[in-house]
Structure 1
Amino acid sequence: MSHPWEPDRLLNVVDVEATCWRGPSPRDQTNEIIEIGLCVVDLVDRRRVARDRILVRPARSRVSAFCTELTGLTQAEVDAGVSFAEACRLLATRHQAGPRVWASWGDYDRLQFQRQCGATQVPYPFGARHVNAKAVFAQAYGLQRKMGMAGALRHVELPLEGRHHSGADDAWNIGALVLHTLAAGAWPGDPGAGAPAGDT
């Protein structure tokens, strides 16, 4: 379904980390968001202007040893986080998630929010205007296969800043890829561009 597209100055770049396991999830647990990383990109000044990290307390799962190895997050850390409902409220109030265009690297983040909001009856914090940055990047650079974030950084010779699979660091790095794509004239949020490639 398509929606009217009007470029905005500010873009929210979002990356989430969720509970995970080496292999199938345990029968009594389900994937839940435990970290929301966010980078605000100013598409006019062409710079990253803010970053945020929201730790989320899981209610239906535990942080596995594999999850800690991957993300660096421990059960104790996320136990000190906010509820998923509060995290969504913070996105709406602190970062204007409803009216503001947002982007993620692929569709996982959007779908995870939709699944978890549906399962917990928490209002979905985002509006309809979402950009699949992975798809935009692949189209911009003529790639036959979409790349992971780390591979995309290498492809355009940008450094990986911070820790991969940290939601806050990944959002910051995706923000750099957005700016690189914008500089190439291929980002849909550029005031001079048309409708976004990817899902809107």
Structure 2
Amino acid sequence: MNAKYKVRLDRVLSVDFEMTCWDGEPPHGQVPEIIQIGISEIDNETMTRLRSESWYIRNELSEVSPYCTALTGITPSILRRRGIALSEAGRIIAKKYGSRNKGWLAWGSDKAAVDSDCAAKNVQPIFSNAFFNVGLLYSMVASDGRSVGLDEAAERFGISFEGRPHDAGADADVLAEVWCALGGLMRLPSARPEPSNLPSP
């Protein structure tokens, strides 16, 4: 992370990506690339979700397969009409959400995918290096010896999905709720001194 960006500790971004995908290996000359970004901002002090947003990202390096459309609901037509360039999305997200000076969360190792896509398109990194794989954290603290999906973790906390499965905005919101639930379980007693009710001497 660039030294000029100091990471805030009071806010964190829950992030999800949808990417081009295929039923098997990518066709020759094509690579997975981001076609939707969802963000939900969290107040880490109160463990509450503050605001959410999502963007469709225009594909440049690959086609949206029928398999991808069936999985995500994203069609080539949607991306032509509503998609924006990854570089434009990066500028919006950095300006509106301060993404380069906040920690961010994903359910899985999404940082490598977004870094790769940004490098391929010569786009400045959108997010800070303060990345947390909540899926790995959850699977480790759940202590059942296997990887757990976001849907299962949400169900365990009594959190319901709103919106279509594999929608980046909906998944970012659910991830934010899971993070808040985890934070409630792991929160340490405050180190701040409690205000005294005794009169001053």
Normalising by structure 2, report the TM-score. Answer: 0.85
The reply to whether residue 20 of structure 1 matches residue 21 of structure 2 is: yes
Consecutive aligned runs of 4 or more in structure 1 exceeding 4 Å deviation: 190-193
Matched residue, 2:149: 148
Matched residue, 1:59: 60
Per-residue deviation, 1:7: 6.4
Q: Is the 8 A contact 1:140 1:181 kept in 2?
A: no
Report the CA distance shift for 1:136/1:79 in structure 2 as closer, same or farther (over 3 A): same
Per-residue deviation, 1:33: 0.3
Per-residue CA distance 1:62-121 (angstroms, 9 max, x = gap) = 1111111100111111123110111111221111110011110111x2111111112122
Counterpart CA distance in 1 for 2:141 and 2:101 is: 26
The reply to whether residue 93 of structure 1 matches residue 81 of structure 2 is: no
Identity across the alignment (%): 28
SS at the partner of 2:12? Answer: strand
AA in 2 matched with 1:128:
N
Per-residue CA distance 1:169-195 (angstroms, 9 max, x = gap) = 000000110011011016xxx8959xx
Matched residue, 1:126: 127
Q: Is the 8 A contact 2:18 2:167 kept in 1?
A: yes
Per-residue deviation, 1:157: 2.7
Per-residue deviation, 1:6: 7.1
Matched residue, 1:9: 10
Report the CA distance shift for 1:17/1:6 in structure 2 as closer, same or farther (over 3 A): closer
The reply to whether residue 103 of structure 1 matches residue 105 of structure 2 is: yes
Q: Is the 8 A contact 2:103 2:131 kept in 1?
A: yes
Counterpart CA distance in 2 for 1:33 and 1:72 is: 14
Matched residue, 2:170: 169
Per-residue deviation, 1:42: 1.1
State which structure, 1 or 2, has the greater radius of gyration over its C-alpha atoms: 2
AA in 2 matched with 1:168:
G
Per-residue CA distance 1:136-175 (angstroms, 9 max, x = gap) = 2223332311211111112233212222200000000001
Counterpart CA distance in 2 for 1:26 and 1:150 is: 29
Q: Is the 8 A contact 2:139 2:148 kept in 1?
A: yes
Counterpart CA distance in 2 for 1:192 and 1:172 is: 27
Kindly tell me the number of residue pairs found equivalent between the two proteins: 185
Normalising by structure 1, report the TM-score. Answer: 0.86
Matched residue, 1:196: none
Per-residue deviation, 1:45: 2.1
AA in 1 matched with 2:34:
I
CA-based RMSD of the aligned residues comes to 2.0
Matched residue, 1:32: 33
Report the CA distance shift for 1:59/1:192 in structure 2 as closer, same or farther (over 3 A): farther
Per-residue deviation, 1:34: 0.4
Unaligned runs of 5+ in 2: 1-5, 192-201
